[in-house]
Amino acid sequence: MRKDAALVSSLFLAAALIIPATRSWTQPQETAARKAPYDAVQDAQTPREVARPRPEQQKDQHDNSDLFTATKAEPASTAFKNQPDEGKILGFDFYRDPLDAKKPMTTFQEVYQKDVAEKPRVMATQRRLLEMRYNLKPNLSPDVKMSRGKPIAVGPTALLAQGTTWEKLAAMSPEQIRSGNLFPYPPLPHPKQVNGGQVFPQIQIDMFPRLQRFDVDFDLPDAFLPEFPPAIFLQNRPELGDVSRGEVVSINNFYRLFKDLLTPVQLDGLRMLVTPFPQEEFNPTDDRKSSQASLGVACLDCHVNGHTTAQFHLSPDIRPQERRFRLDTVSLRGLFNQQIHSSKRSLRSVEDFTEFEQRTAYFNGDEIHAAKKGMNILSRVQVSHMAQMQNMFDVPPAPKLDPAGYLAPMKATPAEISGQKIFFGKGRCGSCHPAPFYLDHQMHDLQMEHFTREPGDGPIKTFTLRGIKESPPYMHDGRCLTLEDTVKFFNLVLGLKLSAEEETNLVAFLRVL
């Protein structure tokens, strides 16, 4: 009897341990705060609190006074009293005042307190907007997964206006859709346009707390994002498959992971790619949006493992601020096969792209503010090393495609074969995304101003569709959360008149690219 009771107790205990461990990762979980792994960058920029037993270490009344502020400075001459503005600069001083300060002599603490106070309202507003546009409860595929096992989300997620159906929308003209404000995929805005800048998903911040902003949070649910960490494929070692070994490549581990896989030049390029430099929102000045002064961010903070976790910022190529659009971080996979770079600038080499972004504090198109934060001028030797490494990142294997980039009939399902015919035929996808790499090295204008009440974005670079199932959300601003949403988007924009079955088959083909 006692043995039976002990057995039952053991089974209950085992069940209690197993059930929480198998809860879906899409559900909120109440767990103890996890300690982030060691981060050399965080360690380097964190001051140490030490005991202050010595008399010279004690702060006195003079140390704590406000004599050091600009407004307390004594004029060099009493004659200034008779000069314009008493010899004072009463306007903004670019190098002293924080970016977008509303008055001269604004302090970092004032900006910080204002942004922190506004943050709950800012994020609640963005959440309401997303819930009006999308069904944010993920429907996960039971059998289609990314390279490391994360299931993809299945759509469509867009919520249609009352009384509207996909069939009714497809029968309307662009003018009718626009006049009724019925287009289900309008531009997706940055949660705080006035500040803009790079925003990282929480799963990444949990590992690297230095990427936390005090003014805004990431807005899309984790289920609609790429894997974290993403797989890494090297075009110089295809036989190895994923070489990430389940780790996020950083300054802490890059040498251990890659010293036997890369050339010395490539390894040095990788070192540069994981080294942080001042960025628009992460830097040592009062312009930052991190609570503590920061060394900056590294290229692979955004292009995690040479891929992306859907971090977003604003397009650097447009002014004024309210005209700039949200821009997702794109994958570096397959960069070796791309002839133009950047969504708008059409830079003709990755070396030029890398050098330009370093010089402008990453993705703001602004050398003026970069100079304040710490402009990083790289030599062409360093830039070429970085380019050599970026050109090693490969797309995931596509075992159903032949060397020419088309489906091998013996490996494909009827739905995938049908989807391929639609892709290169009725769907017109292949005109901008030709095989084998599924991009045309061009820029195209979808003329979205015909469908929405916002101005169009003009020509934007075509990106490769190889490995596309691992790069949600879609479009340059992430407005399409799933592949199904993306097919719906183009069915309307291009007037394709695809049937529901044709849309399903097209998605099936996209999943195997």
Q: Which residues contact 105 (CB under 8 A, 6 or more apart)?
A: 69, 70, 71, 96, 97
**Average of pLDDT values for 79-89?**
91
Instruction: Give the confidence band of 163 by pLDDT, cuts at 50, 70, 90.
Output: very high
Q: Which residues contact 244 (CB under 8 A, 6 or more apart)?
A: 148, 229, 230, 231, 232, 257, 305
pLDDT in the model for residue 10: 45
**Average of pLDDT values for 215-228?**
98
pLDDT in the model for residue 384: 95
Instruction: Give the confidence band of 34 by pLDDT, cuts at 50, 70, 90.
Output: low
CA distance 275 to 169: 49
- Does pLDDT of 341 surpass 70? yes
CA distance 338 to 378: 23
Which residue, 429, 423, 199, 444, is CA-closest to 311? 199
- Does pLDDT of 398 surpass 90? yes
**Average of pLDDT values for 376-404?**
95
Helix, strand, coil abundance in the chain, percent, nearest 5 = 40, 5, 55
SS3 233: coil
CA distance 91 to 86: 13
Query: Which two tokens mark 259?
Result: 């010293």
What's the chain's Rg over C-alpha atoms? Answer: 26
Answer whether the bond into residue 156 is a cis peptide, omega within 30°. yes
CA distance 81 to 161: 65
- Does pLDDT of 147 surpass 50? yes
Q: Which residues contact 1 (CB under 8 A, 6 or more apart)?
A: none
Q: What is the DSSP letter of 277?
A: B
pLDDT in the model for residue 286: 95
**Side chain identity, residue 309:** T
pLDDT in the model for residue 376: 86
- 409-455 per-position pLDDT tens digit: 999 999 999 999 999 999 999 999 999 999 999 999 999 999 999 99
SS3 428: coil
CA distance 493 to 474: 15
CA distance 26 to 223: 6
Contact 106, 100 (CB under 8 A): no
- Does pLDDT of 210 surpass 80? yes
Q: Which of 203-217, 362-376, 468-482 has the lowest mean pLDDT?
A: 362-376
- Does pLDDT of 66 surpass 80? yes
Contact 398, 512 (CB under 8 A): yes
Query: Which two tokens mark 222?
Result: 């984790």
Q: Which residues contact 19 (CB under 8 A, 6 or more apart)?
A: none
pLDDT in the model for residue 2: 40
CA distance 206 to 355: 30
Contact 232, 243 (CB under 8 A): yes
State the virtual CA torsion across 307, 310, 311, 317 in degrees, nearest 10: 90
Four-residue CA torsion sign, 74, 77, 78, 84:
negative
pLDDT in the model for residue 24: 43
pLDDT in the model for residue 362: 83
- Does pLDDT of 25 surpass 60? no
pLDDT in the model for residue 5: 45
Strand 312-314 with 139-145, pairing: unpaired
Query: Which two tokens mark 371?
Result: 């100079």
Q: Which residues contact 277 (CB under 8 A, 6 or more apart)?
A: 295, 296, 297, 298, 358, 362, 374, 376
Contact 274, 251 (CB under 8 A): yes
Query: Which two tokens mark 205?
Result: 């911040």
Instruction: Give the confidence band of 8 by pLDDT, cuts at 50, 70, 90.
Output: very low
Q: What is the DSSP letter of 461?
A: E
Query: ∠9-14-19 over CA atoms, to 5°?
Result: 130
